[in-house]
């Protein structure tokens, strides 16, 4: 779960070569392995980052 969260941070910051697919894959692995660990916080954060990354920013 921590890996998914860290990848989501990297994606949100745009500071690395992390892709949306990387974050989605990490989230899927984490949820499959740790079904009830940090379920309330980290997955929601990661999904929010993915949603935000899907929308082009007009505030450049």
pLDDT tens digits for 29-59? 887 765 555 556 677 788 888 888 876 655 4
Q: Is the pLDDT of residue 60 over 50?
A: no
46 vs 33: CA distance, rounded Å? 16
Residue 12 lies in domain:
2-54
Structure confidence at residue 39 (pLDDT) = 59
40 vs 16: CA distance, rounded Å? 27
5 vs 47: CA distance, rounded Å? 10
Decide if 44 is inside a domain.
yes
Structure confidence at residue 25 (pLDDT) = 92
Decide if 46 is inside a domain.
yes
Structure confidence at residue 58 (pLDDT) = 53
What is the total count of domains within the chain? 1
What's the pTM?
A: 0.58
Q: Write a three-state SS string for 1-40.
A: CHHHHHHHHHHHHCCCCCCHHHHHHHHHHHHHHCCCCCCC
């Amino acid at each position: 779960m921590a890996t998914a969260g860290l990848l989501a941070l990297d994606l949100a910051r745009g500071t690395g070569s992390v892709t949306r697919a990387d974050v989605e894959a990490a989230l899927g692995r984490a949820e499959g392995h740790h079904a009830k660990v940090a379920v309330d916080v980290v997955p929601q954060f990661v999904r929010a980052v993915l949603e935000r990354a899907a929308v082009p920013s007009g505030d450049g």
